[in-house]
Amino acid sequence: MCILSPNRPHASRAASLAGPTRQQLALDALAGVPISQIAADNDVSRKFVYRQLHRAHQGLDLAFDPPQSPQDLLFWLPVTRPWLRQLVLGLVLTCHSSLRGVRELLCDLFDYPVALGTVHNILGQAVARAGAINARQDLSAVRIGAHDELFQATKPVLVGACVHSTYCYLLSQEEHRDADTWGVRLLELSEKGFAPQATIADFGTGLRAGQRQALPDVPCRGDVFHPLRDFQALSTYLDNRAYQAMATLEDLRHGQKTFEHRKGRKDRSLARRAACCEREQQRAMAVADDVRTLLSWWRQDVLAVAGPEQAERQALYDWIVSELATLQPRWEHKIGPIRRLLANHRDELLAFGVQLDQDVGLLAEQLQVSPGMVREALAVQQMDEARPARWQREKELWRQLRGKYALLRSEVEELAASVVRASSVIENLNSRLRNYFFLRKQLGQDYLVLLRFYLNHRRFPRSEHSQRVGKSPRELLTGEQHGHWLELLGYQRFCRN
């Protein structure tokens, strides 16, 4: 079933009558001309003439006795077939509704029952235009891309997005996620101008192997989000174990006091258990404190934008890994995985530091200041504004650089904002995609084409980044404005005035 009016190549005489002719039929019937004569003169049935007469009576009733509008009426909405198609698209893409939910809403609120196939056909009609717009997009403006994999009904969905504009250039459900699949998709993207300075991803073997085959000159940085999350989870686990040992020791001591109060002597069994628990508590607290300190150094020094030069980062990184190896025998099942992850992927996780050192050197040469001065300005810019130490250090920079510091501060802010250490954009996109995927067992490539078009052309109503508010990912990528996503699909939006 389709809500478009079907073609009628063999329409009857009544169906071909124009509006003025129908109006004249109704006027003749109102004037008393016999119905049979009107039907014979116009080659139509009497039933058709009676229908026009009935409409004429309805028009007179409305003209002389119009219905009263409800007091809480806001505005009148003409419900047309194109408007209903827009409503279907809005419910599916904006409201995350299922197809059956759309069908039920139209039946309940509009008294307009449609078949499930009708809703599917409306989406299918939008796929062709959306796919053409997606295919025409030039991807040469993507500087850093973020890649990841999702799973839907045990099938992988390959995802890729621009870090700075959040433009989604890859959204494809595949049978496999091996190197060949990733390589083919990346080669297809390169035909559209995709040639980023770098990409960032987790440590999936197929993903990285596919990029080495398709884009051998593009480095793939390591995403620090997952190691940092695992490191933090390890520290939290060890803290909880230390607190648990403290609580157990406190319970044993309380039990010993109670026993001594009742019996006048100590319980040897409780004393032995308390001594063992106290030793365990000291060991647990020592390990928890050491891991918490290592995590703090790794996060605030090794991974910090305002951190040291790359060689010093690597040296501190290696020392932290060696310290974890020292602690590993005590908690092999917990410390071992995170230590091995850090040891095997040092260069990928610190790849952002190589680009950062180059940018610092270029900025120092451009402003004719020392690289150390640029790093000091970067460190000051990263400090909390509420700390007096920040303003003291910034005062010293003003004294040394005078008016040149204003330009340096502006350049350093842009430099800090451009540093990419984690694939936060792709994780955010994945969380949005899951809100669509959970409604469906089978996605289908057509649905993903339409979904990618919507995500790239829908404007952000709000964002932590002020430059994104009121703009779509495509506008952020290209710098060019475009119409509303419904208008791009060929629809005319409803306007009250």
For 355, the 3-state DSSP assignment is helix
**In sequence order, what are the residues at sequence separation of 6 or more whose Cβ sits closer than 8 angstroms to the Cβ of residue 275?**
none
How many other β-carbons are positioned within 10 Å of the β-carbon of residue 323? 16
Kindly report the backbone phi and psi dihedral angles of residue 45, in degrees, each rounded to the nearest multiple of 5, phi listed first: -85, 160
HSE-CB of 418 using CA atoms within 13 angstroms: 16
Query: How many whole angstroms separate alpha carbon 137 and alpha carbon 472?
Result: 14
Closest Cα partner for 292 from 228, 234, 245? 234
Question: How far is residue 279 from each of residues 41, 243, 275, 283, measured CA to CA in Å?
Answer: 111, 14, 6, 6
Q: Which residues pair with 460 in a beta bridge?
A: 469
The answer to whether 123 touches 450, Cβ cutoff 8 Å, is yes
Predicted local distance difference test score (pLDDT) of residue 90: 93
What is the predicted pLDDT for the residue at 11?
A: 56
Where do the domains of the chain lie?
19-64, 78-219+422-497, 225-349, 353-418
Per-residue pLDDT at 266:
84
Taking Cα atoms as reference points, which of 33, 22, 32 lies closest to residue 56? Answer: 22
Note the pLDDT tens digit of each residue in 208-230. 999 999 999 999 999 998 899 99
pLDDT tens string, the chain, 497 residues long: the values are 333 344 444 457 778 888 888 888 888 888 888 988 888 888 889 898 899 889 888 888 877 876 666 777 777 888 889 999 999 999 999 998 888 999 999 999 988 889 999 999 999 999 999 999 999 999 999 999 999 998 888 889 999 999 999 999 999 999 989 999 999 999 999 999 999 999 999 888 999 999 999 999 999 999 998 899 999 999 999 999 999 999 998 988 888 888 888 888 888 888 888 889 889 899 989 999 999 999 999 998 899 888 889 999 999 999 999 999 999 888 888 999 999 999 999 999 999 999 899 998 998 888 888 888 888 888 888 888 888 888 888 888 888 888 888 888 888 888 888 888 888 888 888 888 888 888 777 778 888 999 999 999 999 988 888 888 899 999 999 999 999 999 999 999 888 76
- 177 in Cβ contact with 204 (< 8 Å): yes
**The pLDDT value given to residue 349:** 92
Q: How many CB atoms lie within 10 A of CB 142?
A: 24
pLDDT on residue 240: 93
d(CA 51, CA 63): 19
Q: Given this model, what pLDDT does residue 106 score?
A: 92
Q: Is 3.30.420.10 the CATH classification of the domain at 78-219+422-497?
A: yes
Q: What is the pLDDT of residue 69?
A: 67
The pair of structure tokens assigned to 17 is: 């009558």
pTM: 0.78
What DSSP letter does each residue of 254-266 carry, written as one string?
HHHHHHHHHHSS-
Buried b (16+ CB within 10 A) or exposed e, 250-275: eebeeebeebeeeeeeebeebeebbe
How far, in Å, are 62, 201, 228, 421 from residue 161 at the CA level?
57, 11, 22, 15
In this structure, are residues 373 and 401 in contact, taking their beta carbons and an 8 Å threshold? yes
Please name every residue paired with 149 in a beta bridge, in sequence order, or none if there are none.
158
Tell me how far apart the alpha carbons of residues 158 and 127 are, in angstroms, rounded to a whole number: 19
CB 180 within 8 A of CB 214: no
pLDDT for 142 equals 93
Residue where the block lists tokens 């290592």: 294
> What phi, psi does 194 have (nearest 5°)?
-75, 105
